[in-house]
Structure formats: structure tokens, C-alpha cells
Amino acid sequence: KHSSLTTLITPINNNWRSRKIKSRVLQVSAFSYQKFIHFALNETKRQTVLVPSPLQENFSPMTAMDGRTELKLLSFQSPKIRLLRSLSVENEAMQVLDFAVFARPEFDVPIFCANFFTTASMNIIVLDLNPLHNVIVQSDYKEKYYKSLLPLGLKYAELFPWGGKLTSESLQFFSPIVIWTKFTSTQYRHDTLYSAFVDYYKAWLKLIEHAPEDKDASQIICNQEAQHKYLTWRAEKDPGHGILKRLIGESLAKDVVRNFLFNGINELGSKGFLDYFPEYCCEDGNINKKRSIIGKSFENRPWDAKGEFLGNNIKIY
């Protein structure tokens, strides 16, 4: 069903009628993120044993309330990976990939993060190895993981221009090699995005392959809390929640967000959103519904070629 573009283009059957049908399929639903997911799973399996996580059974493929949007949820674990999970949402008009990998707390490696939102008119793209610890404040952490990756980041920063202003608070979760971009679909751009995904994923796999296990209990707790803060941010403020709610209803969307996408939020820590982000506290004690308190900023890429943060006039940490 999810034939790749190449299989659709290859004239398997020269019968005119069949070609006509195939070309119509190509028009409406040629683009799919399934090949990204297949690549990542196969590449991970070359390095480690991926075990399907029990979560996967709770959230098997779903069809949205509209009857034509397919949601696919996959999740795995391995000796070093706490959670590798993927959500894809596809119909004729929209293709979404939310793919993330979280290491076990004994490893301080970054979080692999690919968030791609595609419609006929627009692509909204975030691809990054999100730092577990704040790289703006902790330069040793930045040196440790990103120094050697800067050439990779620079290559794709040239191919994918910065996407413009965004939620300022998000910057504390991004690395100097983040790809934040928007573009209208072309085959070239989708192919380039695929190579970026492949390169970033291979880079992430190398990091985890060589990461030494932290033995120090306080360091492990620190990693765990950092991951919990990240999960808490995204479970509350991720821009995709509205669409998920529309597709599968509020309560199932909440379940998917808290127990699947950002699984660990109930296990890795007991702090709540306002403990980590007190600036979001309203007078009545509730969480401010706005995504951003500071507002949107960073019209241009706030990292220079050496990976130095240039946005110091805005305090986000």
C-alpha cells in the first residue's frame, strides 16, 4: 500500500489503463515518510537488537475519525535505548513524521528528533540531535557531542535555510546543528531531507555506539531529570497536539502524547510542568495555554559556524 515513489514510477505494467491509475496515485499520495522509518529501523538493527516495546501493542495502527487518515505507531527498546518510537500520520493531504529516540539514563547522549509536517503547500521541519543538557550554559557538553558534528550541521544549514522566528523557549532544547526550516515540496528538497535524516541518524547511532555507561549515581539521576524535563516540555507544548486531537479525539490524543510519544513522563521523574517552567504559571495556578511566554524570536539562525550561540539578548535558560 505504501509503495515508494520509485516503485510507483517504474512501469511495471505497460498497460495504459494501469499506468493512468498509477499516475493518479502518484499525484495524491506519492509522498510518504515510511522509507525514513524503514531506514532508521534497519540501520539500528545493524548495530543492536531492537525489541518491540509493549507500548506498540497498546497503540496499534489506527484510523482517524475521518476514516481516511492512517496513524502508525511503532516503538522499540534495546540495551542502550530506552525508547525508540515513531508516529506517522498520512492521508492524501498531509504527511507527518514524529520520530524520536531516547537513550537509557545511564547514557548522556542527545535525543534523536525528527519532526516533519508536510502538506501540499508547506513543509515544517525540525531535525536535530536535541541536547540532553543545555549546550548554551554547559559548553563542555557542547564540545563533547557537537564539535565533531559541526561540519555536518553546516552542510545542511546551507541546504535548508533557517525557518524564521519560532517559539523562543524551544531554543534551549535545540543543538548548534539543528535543522529548522520550512519549504514548499519539490522532489529535490524531499530527497535532500532524506539524506539529512540518514546522515543525522547515522551520526546519532555512532554517538550511542561509543557512549560509555555512566556509573555515577548522581550523573545518572541528572541525565534522567534532563530527559524528564524534555519530555515534560514536549508533552505540554508540542505544536502537533492540536492536529492529533482533531484526528483521534481529545482523550486518545492525550493518551498517545503522554503514554506513547513522550513515554517516561510518569516514570522518570515526579516534577510537573510548572516546576520546570514556572514562568508559565497563571495567576490561578494553571499552566498558561500559550506556547510561548517570551514570544517568537530568532529570525535568523542563532548559532554561528563554530557552534557559538548568538542569541544572548534573549534569556531562555
For ligand BLA, which is the closer residue by CB, 22 or 309? 309
Residue of this chain nearest to ligand BLA (CB atom): 240
CA–CA distance from 251 to each of 256, 260, 263, 317 (Å)?
A: 9, 13, 16, 32
Among 44, 53, 86, 167, binds ligand BLA (CB under 6 A): 167
String of contacts with ligand BLA for each residue 122-141, x by CB under 6 A: --x-x---x-----------
Q: How many residues touch ligand BLA (CB under 6 A)?
A: 20
CA–CA distance from 145 to each of 4, 114, 211 (Å)?
A: 34, 18, 10
243 binding ligand BLA? (CB under 6 A): yes
Among 83, 89, 149, 235, binds ligand BLA (CB under 6 A): 89
**H or E element: which one contains 81?**
strand 81-90
For ligand BLA, which is the closer residue by CB, 115 or 224? 115
84 binding ligand BLA? (CB under 6 A): no
Question: Taking contact as CB under 6 A, which single stretch among the options 72-80, 166-174, 187-195, 210-218 is the one that binds ligand BLA?
Answer: 166-174
For ligand BLA, which is the closer residue by CB, 211 or 243? 243
113 binding ligand BLA? (CB under 6 A): yes
Among residues 201, 189, 204, the alpha carbon closest in space to that of 146 is found at 204
DSSP string, 90-152: E-SSEEEEEEEEEE-TT--PPEEEEEEEEESS-EEEEEEEE-SS-TTT-HHHHHHHHGGGHHH
Question: Taking contact as CB under 6 A, which single stretch among the options 40-48, 78-86, 149-157, 237-245 is the one that binds ligand BLA?
Answer: 237-245
239 binding ligand BLA? (CB under 6 A): yes
Q: Do residues 166 and 290 lie in contact, with contact meaning Cβ atoms separated by under 8 Å?
A: no
- The conformation of residue 281, written as its DSSP 8-state character, comes to B
Q: What is the smallest separation between the CB atom of 276 and ligand BLA, expressed in angstroms?
A: 13
Residue-level length of the chain: 317
Nearest 5°: CA angle at 312, between 311 and 313? 95
User: What is the distance between the alpha carbons of residues 15 and 21, in angstroms, rounded to a whole number?
Assistant: 10
Among 22, 82, 228, 291, binds ligand BLA (CB under 6 A): 291
273 binding ligand BLA? (CB under 6 A): no
Among residues 286, 244, 280, 278, the alpha carbon closest in space to that of 261 is found at 244
Among 153, 234, 264, 316, binds ligand BLA (CB under 6 A): 234
For ligand BLA, which is the closer residue by CB, 87 or 205? 87
Instruction: Please tell me whether residue 52 adopts helix, strand or coil conformation.
Output: strand
User: What is the distance between the alpha carbons of residues 113 and 315, in angstroms, rounded to a whole number?
Assistant: 24
Residue 205: CB partners within 8 Å, gap ≥ 6? 43, 44, 47
Given 3-state DSSP classes, what are the helix, strand and coil percentages for the chain, each rounded to the nearest 5? Answer: 40, 20, 40
240 binding ligand BLA? (CB under 6 A): yes
173 binding ligand BLA? (CB under 6 A): yes
Q: What is the smallest separation between the CB atom of 128 and ligand BLA, expressed in angstroms?
A: 7
For ligand BLA, which is the closer residue by CB, 51 or 293? 293
Q: What is the smallest separation between the CB atom of 42 and ligand BLA, expressed in angstroms?
A: 23
Q: Which residues bind ligand BLA (CB under 6 A)?
A: 89, 96, 98, 113, 115, 117, 124, 126, 130, 166-167, 170, 173, 234, 239-240, 243-244, 291, 296
